[in-house]
Amino acid sequence: MSMLRELGDVVVAPPGAGADDWRAGIRGADALVSLLTDRVDGALMDAAGPSLRVIGQVAVGYDNVDVAAARARGIVVTHTPGVLTESVAEFTWALIFAITRRLVEGDRLLRRGGWKGWALDFLPGMELSGKQLGIVGAGRIGRAVARRAAAFGVTPVFAARAGATAGTIDGHAVMSFDELLVSADIVSLHVPLTPATKHLVDKRVLARMRRSAFLINTARGPVVDEEALAWALGEHLIAGAALDVYEREPAVHPALLPLENVVLAPHLGSATRETRTAMAELAARNVAAVLGGAPAITPVPA
């Protein structure tokens, strides 16, 4: 905030502010700093008027911003890639361990007084060593997740983009999405939300996965059809899932809530003090650059 205040007057939307609150306070703004929970559409941009020059999104993803509408109005849209790569990759592995070793399930059981002592067959999980991790999305975060795999004896493989041929990424095999589904012990999602990736994981995909496999989602909630996932988990078509993002945040599909074979986190992937600070600072630096007549540091891709 101190960086932004050096540029001029700063108006902060009240907690829980909706579109009407934004429109009432944005008139004449030169810049808008948005979070992934804000819907930044053409109407909001028009409410600001012709003075609006830059939108600084405090997130890597920008599906909440109508980028086409912004460009049509000559507004630069920026985001914060790179600075949250390591924290999200770390959290992805936290979810992998939590679901494969039944950590959260065990915590719940112990708290309700259900643990009766050590037993040979009590809550057996899946050992990671020797397993295959299928990574869908070979961007910064997906590749950072893969870099950590060797420490746990896990073999990472990447899903090829549609129309791409097999090869390698950072020395790891690339295979078709379908090949990955039928061979991976863990499938981890790291794709942006686009029309092509909405409900990428649906009933058909879940039915193709191994019965012993786990699904991890730290990307965007709508990449997974939650109703289909609840069905697959309930039918034990896959062994479990760990989610950090949801289709209709903060709501979670009610059929997921009672299931023991799912770990549910409240969108914590980038939630470290270091990363959230770096995200905010990068958004402010982007705004400062554009208002100062310089190119944006991290504009959204054309």
Q: What is the pLDDT of residue 161?
A: 84
- Counting residues of the chain whose pLDDT is more than 90, the rounded percentage is 91
- Domains of the chain, earliest start first: 2-83+272-291 (3.40.50.720), 85-264 (3.40.50.720)
CB 223 within 8 A of CB 249: no
pLDDT digits (tens, 9 = 90+) for 79-102: 999 999 999 999 999 999 999 999
Q: What are phi and psi of 216, to 5 degrees?
A: -125, 130
User: Count H helices, E strands: the chain?
Assistant: 11, 11
| Res. 24 pLDDT band, cuts 50 70 90 | confident
Residue pointed to by tokens 């810049």 = 31
Catalytic residues: 220, 249, 267
